[in-house]
Amino acid sequence: MPRIQQLVRLRPEVIEGNLHGIISLYALLDKDSTAFECDPQRVFRATYPSAALKRLLHRLQTSLSPRHADRKGNFVISGGYGSGKSHLLLTLYHVLTHPDQARPWLSEHQIDFDPPQDAVVALMPMTNLTRPDSDAPVEYLWTPIFDALGYDGFHHTGSNFPTVVDLRKAVAGRKVFLIIDEIERWFMPIRDRHQAEANLSFLQNLTEFARDPDNGLFVFLTLLMLEPRIGNIVGRDDAFFEDLTQAPDRRQVVLHRLVEAVDRPAAEEVVEAYLEQYRPVDAHVRIGDYSGYRQQMVECYPFHPQTIEVVFERYSSVARKEETSYQNSRGALYLLAHVLQET
């Protein structure tokens, strides 16, 4: 039987031990040209066109079309640490900011999305944004938004917050896409009651304004579902909601990050050899549908599908969602990459 290394071409970052599992959206603002996050081609190559990503882009395409009645302006992506929220937002960012480079990738994966040429994209990794005069976190959500949109018409007096009038002036007839990551982790440490209430009131105005796509504002937020006050505002029925915690195609997402190419005919022969060993003991292994299981094994090669599922189960159950050690797909990615390095 051939060895795995004879049938599989691993991605260079797996071979070199430089697999990029933790996505830092702040790297895009830091403008480090060598960072993985800043290279749209590397991002597209490493991105599996998951069902969640396709649904997001399909819904956004619908919302950008004035012909559709069921349009949405608020998009909520939930899931624990390591479930792929930041990678999804990173891909969205490059699709919107590099439309010419995105189109071949969209076409290759048969994703019906036409990136708008005039998009204004504001990226806000909230836990990394600081005040201009210190390293302290920004105090108010509207500060980075208005800075990115070039709007200076609002003056904070201590108890007020921006209204829909301010938002309409800031958007100024453009198509604006706000990508807000980790808003809960930024908001939860706030102890000043007035500051907290001002932020919540503005978030309410922001999402209310975005409810009508004709206003030109589209808001994308990631949530861990840890802060009820924020969840109650953004998690309404009129928002698009996607939970990545138990994505059905997470196996394909991880394998895409690890494997560049597989000699499929040779892999099919290996799989058939395994199935021939299973058939005489089917009363114990209980496969039943051998045709369907053959397909699963080929798609998961060089791993057995049960191996991948066990890894996911272990990483999904070892920690609570609110803990930063909760790894989900990221933990599975690192472990399986290490296994492949040793083959």
- Structure confidence at residue 68 as a pLDDT band (50, 70, 90): low
Q: How far apart are CA 22 and CA 90, in angstroms?
A: 12
Residue 318 in this model has a pLDDT that exceeds 50 = no
Greatest mean pLDDT among 134-138, 151-155, 158-162? 151-155
> Strands 259-262, 119-125: parallel, antiparallel or unpaired by DSSP?
unpaired
Give the number of other Cβ atoms within 10 Å of residue 194's Cβ: 10
Report the chain's mean pLDDT, rounded to a whole number.
89
- Structure confidence at residue 131 as a pLDDT band (50, 70, 90): confident
User: Structure pTM?
Assistant: 0.86
Place of tokens 């080929």: 298
For the chain, the straight-line distance linking the first and the last C-alpha, in angstroms and rounded, comes to 14
- At residue 14, φ and ψ (nearest 5 deg) are -70, -45
